[in-house]
Amino acid sequence: MKGTALSALFAAATLLASPVFAAEDLCATNLQKIDDSMTTAGATSEGLDKAITEQVDKARAAKASGDTKECIAITSKVLERLEKTEKGSGSSSGSGS
């Protein structure tokens, strides 16, 4: 009976901890996507690059302090901004064919 109770407690603890790990993974994944995008973009404007760098620094600080929700919020906005920038620059250069 004790083994069953301990197994149930362990299972409950695992389920409760999963969202925390998922949030940390999403924060880290978003930061990696931003790094990859910034590395491959190359042609971003200097002002945009500086603004994104500042936001990434804030996200990394939030992650370091354990505020994964803030990290995800910041990185999600940066990814949206990068996506819009890429779509905008891609549509003007791809219309020649």
**Element (DSSP H or E) covering residue 87:** helix 68-93
Q: Is the pLDDT confidence value at 88 over 70?
A: yes
CA angle 51, 24, 60 (to 5 degrees): 30
3-state secondary structure of 44: coil
User: CA 15 to CA 92: how far, in whole Å?
Assistant: 48
Percent of the chain with pLDDT over 70: 60
- 24 CB-near residues (< 8 Å, 6+ apart): 63, 68
Q: Where are the domains of the chain?
A: 18-88
Tens of pLDDT, residue by residue over 9-52, are: 555 555 554 455 566 689 999 999 999 888 877 655 667 788 89
Give the mean pLDDT of the chain.
76
pTM of the model: 0.65
